[in-house]
Amino acid sequence: MKRNLYSPIGIFDSGIGGVSTLGQAVHMLSDEKFIYFGDNGNGPYSLKTEEQVKQYCFQACDFLIDKGVKAIVVACNTATAISISALRETYGYYLPILGMEPAVKVAASFNLPGKIVVMGTGMTLKSKMLDSLIERFGIGFDIVKLPCRDVITMIETGIIEGKEIETCIARYFNELDPKEISSVVFGCTHFGVLEQSIKNVLGDHIRIADGDEGTVRHLTNILKDSNLLNPGDRPKTDILFHNSGTSIALENSKKNFNTHLKNLENK
């Protein structure tokens, strides 16, 4: 299927986390069409082997390409760390493939005293991708890697606010003094809906750094350079949601997307 200005943009994640990236994309690229694929049936990727993650990423890309997308955003830090090079090598001749990285650069740009805490999956926190980002942008900063698997699991089940998830967040931060933390990096797209919950637990002084805005800005530039930006002169279609899991997971994806988009619009 030939790509053109009016083709949709494909975004995928191991579950519902990538809807934060989708929300940012809809917010910044309001004339574009989007297809979101949540691989709930195979996620979370952080519990799989690297070979399994690569297999799932190729399957997701094949699915989106069959739908006629003009670009693909891998809205998952774990998938990006493991698979982005192989995906670009296979599909890069045909369409742009963008990944998601923990926003260490953004947190460093705040230039605040105190710890920078990177929340993520164990696989992302151990990745060469994150180590490279810290070497490039984190020199001179006290950076703490904090695996938060149970938080991701709760978000997948639709728990995105309230006492239960705040208690879970507090448990992970238990050994850290909130007064000594300057910023939190969302090293997993699932955390995009947690900004207020994080501040409820740690305090309003906490700065949040996520990779969504930078990724969508990069996507915009690539589409512009490739003459693939939708000019907005045709009626828009609804955002299409697909997943490999249950209907409940699909509804949770839509719910989280609406929450995140509303938060962006109210900023």
> Do 61 and 147 fall into the same domain?
no
> Do 202 and 217 fall into the same domain?
no
> Do 226 and 188 fall into the same domain?
no
Q: For position 184, what pLDDT does the model report?
A: 98
> Do 73 and 133 fall into the same domain?
no
Q: Are strands 143-147 and 207-209 parallel, antiparallel or unpaired?
A: unpaired
Q: Are strands 34-38 and 115-120 parallel, antiparallel or unpaired?
A: unpaired
Q: For position 103, what pLDDT does the model report?
A: 96
Which range marks the domain in which residue 134 is found? 104-209
> Do 117 and 81 fall into the same domain?
no
> Do 139 and 13 fall into the same domain?
no
Query: Could you read off the pLDDT of 209-220 as tens digits, one per residue?
Result: 999 999 999 999
Q: For position 1, what pLDDT does the model report?
A: 63
Q: What is the pTM of this model?
A: 0.92
> Do 205 and 128 fall into the same domain?
yes
> Do 144 and 160 fall into the same domain?
yes
Report the CATH number at residue 111. Answer: 3.40.50.1860
Q: Answer whether residue 226 is part of any domain.
A: yes
Query: Could you read off the pLDDT of 18-34 as tens digits, one per residue?
Result: 999 999 999 999 999 99
Q: For position 157, what pLDDT does the model report?
A: 85
> Do 148 and 60 fall into the same domain?
no
pLDDT under 70: residue ranges of the chain: 1, 260, 267
Query: What count of Cα atoms within 13 Å lies in the side-chain half-sphere of residue 80?
Result: 27
Q: Which of 57, 76, 148, 168 is labelled catalytic?
A: 76
Question: CA-CA distance, 182 to 184, in Å (whole number)?
Answer: 7
Of 192, 209, 226, which one is at a domain's C-terminal end?
Answer: 209
Of 171, 191, 209, which one is at a domain's C-terminal end?
Answer: 209
Q: Determine whether 57 is an active site residue.
A: no
Q: Which of 57, 61, 168, 188 is labelled catalytic?
A: 188
Number of domains in the chain: 2
Q: Answer whether residue 237 is part of any domain.
A: yes
Q: Answer whether residue 198 is part of any domain.
A: yes
> Do 90 and 129 fall into the same domain?
no
Q: Answer whether residue 254 is part of any domain.
A: yes
Q: Answer whether residue 185 is part of any domain.
A: yes
> Do 194 and 240 fall into the same domain?
no
> Do 96 and 192 fall into the same domain?
no
183: nearest Cα among 137, 229, 242: 137
